[in-house]
Chains A and B, each alone.
Chain A
Amino acid sequence: KNEVEQSPQNLTAQEGEFITINCSYSVGISALHWLQQHPGGGIVSLFMLSSGKKKHGRLIATINIQEKHSSLHITASHPRDSAVYICAVDEETSGSRLTFGEGTQLTVNP
């Protein structure tokens, strides 16, 4: 079973700071997803990665397949970025199994 670990569990930042959230996993994957869950509970898919890097606005996601590690970066953070960020991996050999990390609670203060 794939172990998915996120760090940090909680993160508090000041508006404008550069933020990094990390995700490590233990077995080979075919894809990794970053999700954002807002305080109201809604979940939005931010990125799906299988290699390299993707960028959307102030958000950047990278993945290193060899090191089994992904990072989510937020540049020029804003209070509206406050949310729980969840990493999820689709295992290579599972057929159809998605394993979730526990999430990182981000709070950005004005």
Chain B
Amino acid sequence: DAGVIQSPRHEVTEMGQEVTLRCKPISGHNSLFWYRQTMMRGLELLIYFNNNVPIDDSGMPEDRFSAKMPNASFSTLKIQPSEPRDSAVYFCASSPGRGWADTQYFGPGTRLTVL
């Protein structure tokens, strides 16, 4: 298996633009997680899906952020409109089990820069 795949790996955009990050989890995994990492705040959970259903989105910063998982093999994280404070590395991870009761497998991350 190729592991968790994220695209793009790097994204540079201007303030106010829409940004869409993509994730393909490991086949057969039931849980998918989106995380954000910044120097100031470290790693933070944004949202967690189980069997394509959002279970906990309390980490999503505000209405500008939205995430979808239309099927078991694809998820998106969208920021609209983007702001400079959204600049961070965004990681997607998947897990065979439910929640954090199982090992997580991380993607390589998307480094987002909002100018």
Contacts and interface: CB of A to CB of B under 8 A. Distances in A.
Nearest to B111: A41
A45 B106 contact: yes
The 5 closest A-B pairs by CB, nearest first: A90-B100, A96-B56, A43-B106, A100-B43, A45-B103
A102 B42 contact: yes
Interface of B: 42-45, 48, 55-56, 58, 89, 91, 93, 99-106, 108-109, 111
A86 interface: yes
B29 to A, nearest CB: 13
Contacts of A35: 106
B100 A33 contact: yes
A77 to B, nearest CB: 23
Interface of A: 30-31, 33, 35, 41-45, 48, 86, 88, 90, 95-98, 100-103
A97 B108 contact: no
Contacts of B58: 97
Contacts of A48: 100-103
Contact of B108 (A42, A86, A96, A100): A42
B52 to A, nearest CB: 15
Contacts of A101: 42
A96 B55 contact: yes
Contacts of A33: 100, 104
Nearest to B89: A41
A12 B10 CA distance: 31
Nearest to B91: A43
Nearest to A44: B106
Contacts of A98: 45, 100
11 contacts: A30-B100, A31-B100, A33-B104, A41-B89, A41-B109, A43-B93, A48-B100, A90-B99, A96-B56, A96-B99, A102-B42
